[in-house]
Structure 1
Amino acid sequence: MAMPRRRHHDHRWQIPAVNAYAAAVASLVFVAFVGSSFYYSLTLPDPNRTGGALQHIVNGRKGSGGGGGGGDSYKPPRLLKNAPDQQSEFEKAVASYQSFSVPNGGGKSLHNLWGSKIAKNFYGCSNSSHKFLTAGKNTHANRYLMIATSGGLNQQRTGITDAVVVARMLNATLVVPKLDQKSFWKDASDFSQIFDVNWFISFLSKDVKIVKELPQVGGKVIGPYTMRVPRKCTQRCYQNRVSPVLSKKHVVRLTKFDYRLANKLETDLQKLRCRVNYHALKFTTPIFEMGEKLISRMRSKGKHFIALHLRFEPDMLAFSGCYYGGGDKERKELGAIRKRWKTLHTSNPDKERRHGKCPLSPEEVGLMLRALGFGSDVYLYVASGEVYGGEETLAPLKALFPNFYSKETLASKGELAPFSSFSSRMAALDFIVCDGSDVFVTNNNGNMARMLAGRRRYFEHKRTIRPNAKKLYSLFLNRANMTWDAFSSKVRTYQRGFMGEPMEVRPGRGEFHENPSTCICERTQAKATPDSTYRGRYVGIENTKVRENKIIDEPPDDADDELDLTDADYVDYELMEKGLSNGTESEDDPFIKSEEPELEEIFSD
């Protein structure tokens, strides 16, 4: 049975024939009544949105952003629901949700909200060892490596970083990578329009030789031999598969170059990864200055601010197979999008949530932050694409944190004009603000979340909150039977180990770009001497006695870890209509490992 529709109070009034004055008064009353009815129809929650448990402020009063007292709370209304035989496990729990008063103040908190007390004991360390040969001694003549990146800005960033390391392993000269200009993003920006290409080349000059273009031989440019390597290709894998071809063909172009390098490498190569990602890749001056301007405007509003990377786009939700309680309307809309992928299995929303694969909804993010101790007076910067459900979906988050900003609200259209037509440049602005925030929060485990988590660990272990989705799933499911104090206590317990504290993740665990443990050292003396090698906004410290991780054993040559496909950030509908082609490379190429259509290549951030 379909869920009942929200009533909009469209009452029809019969206005009797009276004198002109009375008629005018009656008309004004009618307009006022209809206007107020329309207003409340917008502000009251939609019964169809049962999973979101939309809430509204009742006599809201600002609380303490650092974990202050109570103040008035807001409560959700009684929720209408689907027939019992049509309810999911998630929906059944939310349907019984009766009374859940959320305080405006932050209340108790698990940690120092805005930073770690022990962060000062750790620092980024990425200098090479004395055994690491210079580029001049390591690079062989007539060996050139080219790569074609894929995906969104942050996925391309992983490819660029790993390409430098691969060029080093192959004793090759790297040609400045070409950015993905053909995907859904359709961003025509080249490398030099996003990153400072001269800085990139000069900073890495001692490690890898890099050129902007292939040199001419006999007045002609040698065409590259195109091939592809498997995911998580190890150093031995590159030596066996690519090096012989490079010796013969002299120029090799590796396609779809994202996550094509093993997660575990020897220490000097891991440190090179860090030098590339955290020091060599600098945004161009216009992008950097606009990003800093946005940070400055957020800081002018309050002492601290949170940056939230919110992923709740329709295509991404459809791809994930998750369900958020929107009833038949949600199932129909997301199901229609999902049908475009013929290879996707039948979705099991409850299973996806149990496994922690569903991004938190905006409301769930807000409740998590409040439970951790952030009050309603906190300033929130939100980096997001299209949000499924629009303002209705965002309403609970805005009610919890009314100081809600984005780059579009902080800057004028004129200021954003040089960037607004280019998705990667807009993504770069969000990256800068999120990186510069006091606290970074994400509702997902996409590329941007991973890259920023690793970067913030490397630079001072700035507070980074990532939801423990598996644990929080059961908590949100059962909150109908909890008081706020019990709920918030469990949130704080479950989030231990997901707050960006030093050493909370075991070295070598997860993606290296997310947990660059090889490049994080612990001070053994009170004060360290800054290393002058690294200039710019961040300063690396290398001259302290440290405890470093030892070389990590390499995985098998055929390692091909499965990626979390919830990295989705957009859909390339043209690709889907073509049946998810694997690309233009020859099927007879012996160096291309047979792979299933890579759905994650359609999605990225």
Structure 2
Amino acid sequence: MKKIHYIQTRSALPALFLIILPNFFPHLFQPLTRSYLSVFSEWNAPSGKHIRLLDGAMLEQISEKQQHSDIWSPLPYQGWKPCLDSATVPFNPENSRGYIQVFLDGGLNQQRMGICDAVAVAKILNATLVIPHLEVNPVWQDSSSFTDIFDVDHFIEVLHNEVSIVKEVPSMYSWSTREYYGTGIRPTRIKTAPVHASASWYLENVLPILNSYGIAAIAPFSHRLAFDNLPKEIQLLRCKVNFQALVFVPHIRRLGDTLVQRLRSSPIINKDKTVKDQTGSGKYIVLHLRFDKDMAAHSACDFGGGKAEKLALAKYRQIIWQGRVMKTQYTDEELRHQGRCPLTPEEIGLLLRALGFNNDTRLYLASHKVYGGEARISSLRKLFPLIEDKKSLASEKERAEVEGKASLLAAVDYYVSMHTNIFISASSGNMHNAMLGYRAYKNMKTIRPNMVLSSQLFLNETIQWHEFRQSIEDGHKNRQGQIRLRKETQSIYTYPIPDCMCQQR
């Protein structure tokens, strides 16, 4: 007992070191703290938490070898088709009132939505859009530009009748750079654009600057255009940008096609390197396992890693968000009852098994580094041994152009998700929202986890597998891609109907 107590006490010292000393020597310890936390917070990844349910799922698989046939069936036609005829009068570049620059923060999917809004704002102002500048995200640390991710020539060509777009500002405005706006107050920079600003706000506040200076820079810009009370032509234009103009660069599409092809038809190899199946089933699921450290810390939920995990996530919140994201006033149980905690890899695995997927299902993980490492997904691998990701499907050479670049890696996952039979996300977020919108637009199956129901079932420590499975089945019958009309204030990029689609009678 003394030896065990000594080990536990010793393991807490690094946590105290991280909490106390950096407060006195921030410049000295911040780089060390960042790298140290990335290891420390993953030391105590817990083992399976829902043992009874795991045992029930594994036992049922022995006696029930066939998964439910209807779970793979495509969605029936639901009466809606895309409508993209937005430009009633072709745009004349000679009538442009000036140049609009936007600086977009966030990850890939948030930036994607910002690009769509930037095109719409340029249309509202009858201005020329400069290809948006993508900021370096403090979490993902990726400096990839628009042209590193998206096919810029395709983008300009698709929209040439709608909006004037240039790759760079003309030489007479070469002074208008991100660095210029970061060194002081500038009359051509708009910092006060409200979240979900109306079209009239831009006409009243940005147009005068364009008229005076010929150029206006809007930063920050994400979420700076309303979803309601806009002309139908503007709404259709946003849809056209999102679903038609924004195409990934060729090398991302090539890698994505390679992964999709291998998921659908490549041999399944046993651990002893023997071929089990020469063709595969031809079907696969993309699981967006949004369970990275950033998400875990931001949620303020307890994921079973004990005091070490709590200290590490608290310190991470302090470093990354500098006190702007504090631990919620709700208890972990209250957060889970409200469905506000992301499902763990173990929990999303149990949900998939309850829906009828068996251990022959091919699962592609679209995910950044999983918080807790391999230990955290061990239960998921037991349930679904045919788990794949970019590294398991493609060689280091094939991944060379995207490796180490978070935005490009996310783009590959997005592309694979576009082509999957079924998409499911372990929690809501920008990737989840973007895929909901894209797959609704294409009438493709997407399972939306019922977070409140699932969380409450997982809190029930006495529930048996058959009861859990039936509750999950019943709670997800109408959450598999059925049409949902956009409600007021909801995102057009998540719910494209009726703004982006026309009803066919």
Q: Residues 141 and 332 (structure 1 numbering): CA distance in 2 closer, same or farther, change over 3 Å?
A: closer
2:198 — aligned with what? 234
1:324 — aligned with what? 303
Q: 1:457: Cα distance to partner?
A: 0.8
Q: Does 1:268 align with 2:226?
A: no
Q: Does 1:167 align with 2:122?
A: yes
Matches within 5 A, 1:474-489: 474-478=456-460, 480-489=461-470
Partners of 1:397 and 1:387 in 2: how far apart? 12
Q: Residues 54 and 234 (structure 1 numbering): CA distance in 2 closer, same or farther, change over 3 Å?
A: farther
Partners of 2:227 and 2:48 in 1: how far apart? 37
Q: Does 1:378 align with 2:364?
A: no
2:147 — aligned with what? 192
Q: 1:142: Cα distance to partner?
A: 4.2
Q: Does 1:52 align with 2:49?
A: yes
Q: Which amino acid aligns with 1:397?
A: L
Matches within 5 A, 1:371-450: 371-450=354-433
2:495 — aligned with what? 515
Native 8 Å contact 1:55 1:396 kept in 2: no
Q: Which amino acid aligns with 1:226?
A: R
Native 8 Å contact 2:67 2:357 kept in 1: no
* Structure 1 SS opposite 2:71: coil
Partners of 1:367 and 1:104 in 2: how far apart? 17
* Structure 1 SS opposite 2:72: coil
Matches within 5 A, 1:25-40: none
Matches within 5 A, 1:495-506: 495-501=476-482, 503-506=483-486
Q: Does 1:158 align with 2:113?
A: yes
TM-score normalised by structure 2 residue count: 0.80
Structure 2: state its 5+ residue gaps.
8-42, 178-187, 266-279
Residue 259 of structure 1, aligned match among 223, 231, 248:
223
2:133 — aligned with what? 178
Equivalent residues, number: 435
1:133 — aligned with what? 89
1:537 — aligned with what? none
Between the two proteins, what is the percent identity of the paired residues? 34
Native 8 Å contact 2:47 2:376 kept in 1: no
Partners of 1:315 and 1:258 in 2: how far apart? 19
- Return the structure number with greater helix share: 2
Q: Residues 362 and 515 (structure 1 numbering): CA distance in 2 closer, same or farther, change over 3 Å?
A: same
Native 8 Å contact 1:50 1:326 kept in 2: no
Q: Which amino acid aligns with 2:108?
A: L
Q: Which amino acid aligns with 1:325?
A: G
Q: Does 1:369 align with 2:333?
A: no
Native 8 Å contact 1:114 1:438 kept in 2: yes
Partners of 2:292 and 2:439 in 1: how far apart? 25
Structure with the greater alpha carbon radius of gyration: 1
Structure 1: state its 5+ residue gaps.
8-45, 59-71, 76-100, 525-605
TM-score normalised by structure 1 residue count: 0.67
Q: Does 1:307 align with 2:286?
A: yes
* Structure 1 SS opposite 2:196: coil
* Structure 2 SS opposite 1:253: strand
1:467 — aligned with what? 449
Q: 1:51: Cα distance to partner?
A: 7.4
Residue 122 of structure 1, aligned match among 72, 80, 84:
80
Provide Cα deviations, 1:35-57, integer angstroms capped at 9, x if missing partner: xxxxxxxxxxx998377336898
Q: 1:105: Cα distance to partner?
A: 4.3
Q: Does 1:493 align with 2:449?
A: no
Q: 1:316: Cα distance to partner?
A: 2.0
Q: 1:487: Cα distance to partner?
A: 1.1
Matches within 5 A, 1:333-344: 333-340=312-319, 341-344=322-325
Q: 1:519: Cα distance to partner?
A: 1.3
Partners of 2:370 and 2:327 in 1: how far apart? 24
RMSD (Å) for aligned C-alpha atoms: 2.8
Q: 1:339: Cα distance to partner?
A: 3.8
